[in-house]
Structure 1
Amino acid sequence: MTVRATAVPFDRLDPHAVYAVARLRQQVFVVEQECPYPDLDGRDVEDGTRHVLLLDDTSGSALLGYARVLDDGDVWRIGRVLLDVPARGQGLADVVMRTALSVCRGRDVVLDAQSPLARWYATFGFVVDGPEFVEDGIPHVPMRLSV
């Protein structure tokens, strides 16, 4: 498998990529994790948002993974981090995170980690930055990477 990661603004995504992103986010967060929530929150199209796409070039650029980087003014916010089921267990989530972090320059980076994944985010330098909370029935912890 030959993978390629890229981070682009919404207006550089072609319609097929937008569809693939929406489908994969729905599959993982709404269906697999059983969390019906308003995924289309208006933030995808903001000027400062970057969409991290992990693509499998050996299968016609199929979307394997994704993350969203938001410009929250004084911090960057990473969210919607996911891998398609066949891509899991191969270290590819690290590629997604490294690509997301590569566009987060000059400011702290924050995210809300599903609690079981906090140790994985810590491998990138994130530290827990507040009490655990439950969102959509799933325990999360706020985390921060300080510059």
Structure 2
Amino acid sequence: MKLHTLKPAERSVKAGKRIGRGQGSTRGGTSTRGHKGAKSRSGYSQKIGFEGGQMPLQRRVPKFGFTNPNRVIYKPVNLDAIQALADKLGVTAINVELMRENGIVGKSDLVKVLANGALTAKVDVTANKFSASAVELIEKAGGTATVI
């Protein structure tokens, strides 16, 4: 078998329809487009969301709500993730850069430490924000919680 001898399987390739080549071809005249109307014309392209003149869904449904452009979104990190990181690396100081290096948070994420899980290691945690219960549990374990 060579590349220049390859052929598709029999009857797997159909010839394209030759449209607009006269009445004898059975596809002349209107060229399979029906009679008149916008869809039969050259250059026709339907607008996105066009529903044939009916009021489009986008305009039928009312607008509501508000998105605050100044909102600040924090990536939540639980105490059990901090405990796992402390056990894995054997460190006493955990900051956002260390979390980024270990894939816990993304490159541009702001971090909020939450109190889900148990913390037994004495660690100094530095993050953008802490929940009150997380600070309490970190200090109870003998560590400190520092806000950037």
TM-score normalised by structure 2 residue count: 0.24
Q: Which has the higher strand share?
A: 1
Q: Which has the higher helix share?
A: 1
TM-score normalised by structure 1 residue count: 0.25
Query: Highest CA radius of gyration, 1 or 2?
Result: 2
